[in-house]
Amino acid sequence: MSKPLTNYTNTDAVRGAIGLTDNEVTDEMLVEQNLGPALILELNDWVPTHKTIYQAGRVEGATDDEETQYRLLQLYSMWWCACRAAKMVLAIPEKISDGKAEMKRFNDLDLAGIAAEACGMAVYYQKQLQEELGETVDSSGHTLFGSAAPDYDPVTNEGA
């Protein structure tokens, strides 16, 4: 049974994003990695209004913009957690058996590739959400800030 990581995503969504089953990565493995609290801290850093976005987007009568922001928040949250889950050291068994049936995964599971794809999707949805909120984002996923170059050079005592 799926467990919530936050209001925005759950363990089934995260596993589904990276193509793993609950036999390979249990709910407890995801919950005990504290993905939920880490996600909330991440969201607090760049979209402190995430609770408002969540509440506004899930009520009946939400505007198209509110619903879009809500969906983007959900997608970002799922992919952010999937990125972290794929990066963590997973004890993924090659052979799974319940006593009757047996499944063998391929030996060359590319967790680095899966993590890179999941992280890329998280950045994509972060950019989409920031655009919806009217913010600008750079390729690293952080909000851009302007920088200023002084007109005065203290070494040559020229300018200003």
Helix (H, G, I), strand (E, B) or coil at 102: strand
Q: Sketch the domain layout of the chain as residue ranges.
A: 11-97+104-132
pLDDT value, residue 121: 96
Residue 53, CA distances (Å) to 46, 71, 110, 122 in order? 13, 9, 35, 17
Angle, CA 143 vertex, CA 140 and CA 144 arms, to 5°? 90
Helix (H, G, I), strand (E, B) or coil at 56: helix
Query: Is 115:86 a contact under the CB 8 Å cutoff?
Result: yes
Quick one: tokens of 17?
């994003």
The pLDDT > 70 percentage for the chain reads 74
Q: DSSP string of 20-44?
A: --TTTS-HHHHHHTTHHHHHHHHHH
pLDDT value, residue 156: 64
| Residue 104 banded pLDDT, cuts 50, 70, 90 | low
Residue 81: Cβ within 10 Å count: 30
Q: In terms of pLDDT, which residue wins out, 152 or 148?
A: 152
Q: In terms of pLDDT, which residue wins out, 120 or 95?
A: 120
Residue 146 confidence (pLDDT) above 50: no
pTM for this entry: 0.75
Residues in the chain: 160
| Residue 114 banded pLDDT, cuts 50, 70, 90 | confident
